[in-house]
Amino acid sequence: MEFSAIVVAAGSGERAGGGARKQWRPLAGKAVTRWSLEAFLAAGARRVVVVIPQGHESLAREAFAGLPDWVTVGGGATRAQSVRVGLAALAATDGEAVLIHDAARPFLSPAHVAPLIAALAAAQGAVPALPVADTLKRRDSLSGAVVTAPRDGLWRAQTPQAFRREVIGAAYDAWPAGETPTDDAAVVERAGGKIALVAGDPMLMKLTYPEDFAMADRLAGAARMTRIGLGFDVHRFGPGDAVWLCGVKITHDRGLIGHSDADAGLHALTDALLGAIGAGDIGDHFPPSDAKWKNAASEVFLRHAASLIAASGGRVINVDVTLICERPKIAPHRQAMRERLAGLLGLAVDQVSVKATTTEQLGFTGRGEGLAAQAVAAVALPV
């Protein structure tokens, strides 16, 4: 079943302590909300609406740089209002599944999605839930006495919660004004809908208090694996007055010959990124036999590789490019290259290295017949 998703990230996060709002705080190098957006895209979401605080559009653009198929809308005063805004912006068709998720639960994975959608075959809503394992105590508000409350049949509801678009929309339309639902399933329950419980996951913890972030940082490291990719590319010199290297145009007495713009640095780096996720090489995705890539800017290839990593729920940790040539001299352009690569990949400049070396006038690079580039990329992927 095709599905779309709403990520609710419009809260103030007052209980999370000072500093940036929790939805924009970094967790293992990326904003908390980005984790959920990446997971939905990796699971195949047709469209994702992220509901954010009014006026936070620039923060969202920075946090989600490089990811496709998302839009943001400003949220309401309550979570329920924000969900309704998200539903209106989703433009989903009746029968399509809609998953509604709290950004404060960053460890969503594609594996959580399929069971929820499958459960909609026999119910109007589906909720991941964990049985209550701890003993429950209740304090009497009048006497102050503490008593043990029964926990049989009690479950801890999590998100994402799944519904068909027409079901959740009609249920919210029927919700009494002035009342606040505790979750989206409660809205469907009030409208008479059946809710199915699917197996929850302790990793779907909610970040609420400052101490939750310390635990999340530890979990983020444990929930990711690092993959390494290696790329190498060569181009020979030919007629021309400039070369492109790592996305920067350098005036030179010759050009580089290639089907595209012959940017060996970007080609090597593209192959490194593709290699880190086992996605073949640049020729598989952009065959030189295809005329549409003639003289193409190589940044198109690099952005494509980065988008595949994002769609897999991964992120680039760092990249390192070495350019091998006698001329042109790379040092005067090295910082511009680092900044260009950082911009293309959505990285900080200190996550990008560009180096140059020669072969001491040995081989084809030493004779000035061409130049070479090699690149290494580290990528973090969900386990």
Whether the predicted pLDDT of 16 surpasses 60: no
The CATH number, out of the four listed (3.90.550.10, 1.10.10.1100, 3.30.70.360, 1.10.1060.10), of the domain defined by the range 3-222: 3.90.550.10
Residue pLDDT, tens place only, 115-165: 999 999 999 999 999 999 999 999 988 888 999 999 999 999 999 999 999
Sign of CA dihedral 347, 314, 67, 21: negative
Mean pLDDT, rounded, of the chain: 92
Query: Which CATH fold would you assign to the domain 224-382?
Result: 60s Ribosomal Protein L30; Chain: A; (3.30.1330)
Residue pLDDT, tens place only, 72-102: 999 999 999 999 999 999 976 788 999 999 9
pLDDT at 18: 60
Alpha helices in the chain (DSSP H): 32-42, 57-63, 79-90, 113-119, 165-174, 184-190, 210-222, 264-276, 282-285, 299-311, 334-345, 363-366
Residue pLDDT, tens place only, 143-157: 889 999 999 999 999
- Tokens for 169, please give them: 């929309």
Domain boundaries, the chain: 3-222, 224-382
Residue pLDDT, tens place only, 184-213: 999 999 999 999 999 999 999 999 888 888
Whether the predicted pLDDT of 231 surpasses 90: yes
